[in-house]
Amino acid sequence: MKINTGLFIITILFLPAIIVAQQANITKGAQKAMDAPKFDTTRMWDIGGPVSISFSQTTFSNWAGGGQNSSGLTSIASLHANYKDSNFSWLNDLELGYGYQRIDGVPLQKTTDQIEVTTSVGYKIFDHTSLSFLANFQTQFARGYSNIGDTTLISDFMAPGYLVLALGLNYKPNKELSVFVSPATVRFVFVENQMLADEGSYGVTPAVYDTAGHKIQDGKKEETEIGAYIKASYIKAFTKNINLNTNLELFSNYLKNPQNIVINWSTLIQFKISKLIAVTFNTQLIYDNNIAIPIYKNENGVNTLVAKGPRVQFKDVLGVGIGFKI
């Protein structure tokens, strides 16, 4: 039976809302029966996070030193909405980022592209520790290409896409730190672009070809992994004008090379200069043994593809522009 991927993910991510609504109804009914005074539920919510929009532009006219006209825009949001009462908690994080650069004579190129949603529901069993169910979804907005001006597609919306479903313990000693540990995790890898799936990109099973090179079986668009998962989040306002948001995710696949840990570590720092002007610094480090990175070698002035293999991926984005905290 074929499952609608989008409907399945939306159902998983919005399941906690149904649970919260049900608990709210139960709580309301119990209070009415006991004729207890109403309380302000807004005090149980912690909502916020930094948002930034950075612009850049360079223009040359009869410039003796040379150069190319260019413009760029980068938008980043790192938001959270956390609910907590005496025993029940619902923690939510939303990470969005998209940026592009346009250079004269070169097709539009993106500089950052991220969609990540995390939601977890927990029930307190010890001080600062809850038995929790977590769902994490990651993908990107737009297509990605290997090099500037290249037409070789290497990524797309839901190619890859990742969905993690995990049951474990969440340790949250304060509003700033949260550490979730699960020995029982299911991780789905989606490559919904058939061309990329046929290539076996991002660890899915590639297409099968006959000796004449004709495809006799499509590559799989989904792959299921079972393993252990850790997600640590830290949100800190050092001063009124300096905010830090960092997230570290680790996953080990029990079924295939468990020693190859998947790492995803992102950090966003925002420095407020004035009420609306801010400097943002965003970094992301990824290591996934299933992602083959092209390796090029310069031969006679031409970059030539010589191999593909796993590599540590790292990017940083520094911008100055409109910035504020919700």
Quote the CA–CA distance of 17 and 219 in Å, as a whole number.
36
Segment 223-230 mean pLDDT: 97
Comparing 12-21, 122-131, 279-288, 313-322, the range with the smallest average pLDDT is 12-21
Give dist(CA 271, CA 277) in Å, integer: 9
> Between the ranges 18-27, 34-43, 148-157, where is the mean pLDDT highest?
148-157
Q: Is the pLDDT of residue 34 over 50?
A: no
Residue 20 DSSP one-character state: H
Enter the DSSP assignment of 128. Answer: T
**C-alpha 68 chain-centroid distance:** 33
Q: Rounding to the nearest 10 degrees, give the CA dihedral for residues 100, 137, 78, 141.
A: 20
Sequence ranges of the domains in the chain: 68-325
pLDDT bin (cut points 50, 70, 90) of residue 4 is: low
- The two tokens of residue 230 are 């850790």
Residue 36 per-residue DSSP state: P
Helix, coil or strand: residue 22: helix
5: three-class secondary structure by DSSP: helix
- What's the chain's average pLDDT? 86
- Percent of the chain exceeding pLDDT 70 equals 86
Give residue 320's identity as a one-letter amino acid code. Answer: V
* More confident position, 13 or 256: 256
Considering only residues 149 and 106, tell me which one the structure prediction assigns the higher pLDDT: 106
| Residue 72 pLDDT > 80 | yes
Question: Residue 8 — pLDDT band, cuts 50, 70, 90?
Answer: low
**Total length of the chain:** 326
Whether 1 shows a pLDDT value over 50: the answer reads no
pLDDT (0 to 100) of residue 30? 45
pLDDT for 190:
98
pLDDT tens figures, 261-306: 999 999 999 999 998 999 999 999 999 999 988 787 888 877 777 8
Helix (H) or strand (E) holding 319: strand 313-325
Cβ pair 141, 74 in contact under 8 A? no
HEC readout, 133-196: EEEEEEECCCCEECCCCCCCEEEECCECEEEEEEEEEEECCCCCEEEEEEEEEEEEEECCCHHH
Cβ atoms of 172 and 88 within 8 Å: the answer is: no
Q: Residue 37 — very low, low, confident or very high, per pLDDT cuts 50/70/90? A: very low
Instruction: At 28, give phi and psi (nearest 5°).
Output: -65, -40
Better pLDDT: 133 or 145: 133
Q: What is the pTM of this model?
A: 0.82
